[in-house]
Amino acid sequence: MSENITKESIIKEENCVYKRTNLLVDKALSYCPGCGHGTAHRLLMEVLEEMNIQSETIGIAPVGCAVLAYEFLDIDMQQAAHGRAPAVATAVKRLMPEKFVFTYQGDGDLAAIGTAETIHACNRGENITIIFINNGIYGMTGGQMAPTTLPGMKSSTSPYGREVETMGNPLKMTELVAQLPGTYYVTRQSVHTPGNVRKAKKALRKAMENQKLNKGLSFVEIVSNCNSGWKMTPVQSNKWMEENMFPFYPLGDIKVPVE
């Protein structure tokens, strides 16, 4: 071992291949280890940093595990009532059209209590970005059934598995909003492998860039894990997600702008 190798000699600008974005507050995330929320936060902040729009962006946090997103994202943020983020964002964007506005919502927030606000913001073609974290469960309140819970999937309010006859079918909100003339770009991504992380980041970048075009709403679903709610280890949960969530919620673009 050479004596001159020190920490300082290694940590140099020219050796740097990856660095934590400056737009994440230096604070431990409140998410469970292994949860996709943290990765999604990081990607979004990397996108804002690369676009250099920190001072131009207003984020709307939901009610759900991401309610505290404003603790971690170093931008101006509002915390909206459960499900109402698209309405809140609508006003922010209408009143300050030159700003970039996004909502960050879970499946309970976006696809159950906030269904009306989601559909109408999409249908009006608000020039905002909706980021939809679909983990098929209510994480924050302790793992209850979500509108996106898969048939047969167990949760604390479907302890024997979701019975579609009595509990209804899972809702494919992303396919639904893609039908609306007001959406401009609709895609479904995941953040559980390096390859998917890269794709998801591209999608988020595009969704934010689209706001400059004034052509309508960009909707990015991220199918994610809730290892705590699913009662699995992070590794098991990602495997379970690939095997069960992806067949029902296939990844990829659903509506792409015709250039």
Partner 1 sequence: MKELRLMKGNEAIAEAAIRCGADGYFGYPITPQSEVLEYLMAERPYEKTGMVVLQAESEVAAINMVYGGAACGKKVLTSSSSPGISLKQEGISYIAGAELPCVIVNVVRGGPGLGTIQPSQSDYFQAVKGGGHGDYRLIVLAPASVQEMADFVKLGFDLAFKYRNPAMILTDGVIGQMMEKVELFESQPRLTKEEILKQTPWATVGKTPDRERNIVTSLILDSAIQEQHVNKLRDKYIEIEKNEVRYEKIQCDDAEYLFVAFGSSARICQKAVDMGRAKGIKVGLLRPITLFPFPKQVLFELADQVKGILDVEMNLGQMVEDVRLAVNGKVKVEHYGRYGGMIPSPDEVLLALENQIIGGK
Ligand X SMILES: Cc1ncc(C[n+]2csc(CCOP(=O)(O)OP(=O)(O)O)c2C)c(N)n1
The residues binding partner 1 (CB under 8 A) are 54-58, 60-61, 67-68, 70, 74-81, 84, 87-92, 94-96, 99, 116-117, 120
Residues 61-120 that bind ligand SF4 (CB under 6 A): 65
Own/partner contacts of 26-34, CB < 8 Å, gap of 24 or more, are 27/71, 27/72, 29/72, 30/65, 30/68, 30/71, 30/72, 31/65, 32/226, 32/227, 32/228, 33/234, 34/225, 34/227, 34/233, 34/234, 34/235, 34/237
Q: Classify burial at 119, counting beta carbons within 10 Å of its beta carbon; exposed 0-12, middle 13-18, buried 19 or more.
A: middle
Q: Residue 32 CB, nearest distance to ligand X (Å)?
A: 11
Residues 37-56 that bind ligand SF4 (CB under 6 A): 37
Q: Residue 199 CB, nearest distance to ligand SF4 (Å)?
A: 21
Among 35, 40, 92, 177, which residue sits at the site for ligand SF4 (rule: CB under 6 A)? 35
Stretch of residues binding ligand X (CB under 6 A), selected from 64-72, 149-157, 166-174, 185-193:
64-72
Using CB positions, name the residue nearest to ligand X: 106
Q: Residue 63 CB, nearest distance to ligand X (Å)?
A: 4
With beta carbons less than 8 A apart as the criterion, state whether 147 and 105 touch: no
- Residue 40 sits in the site that holds ligand X (CB under 6 A): no
- Residue 106 sits in the site that holds ligand X (CB under 6 A): yes
Which residues have CB under 8 Å from 211's CB, separation 6+? 100, 101, 127, 128, 129, 218
Among 39, 103, 105, 135, which residue sits at the site for ligand SF4 (rule: CB under 6 A)? 135
Size of the site for ligand SF4 (CB under 6 A): 12
Q: Where are the alpha helices (DSSP H) in the chain?
A: 7-10, 36-51, 69-72, 85-95, 107-108, 115-124, 164-167, 173-178, 194-209, 227-230, 234-240, 246-248
Stretch of residues binding ligand SF4 (CB under 6 A), selected from 92-100, 150-158, 170-178, 224-232:
224-232
Binding site for ligand SF4 (CB under 6 A): 31-32, 35, 37, 65, 135, 139-140, 226-229
Binding site for ligand X (CB under 6 A): 63-66, 82, 106-109, 133, 135, 137-141, 146, 226
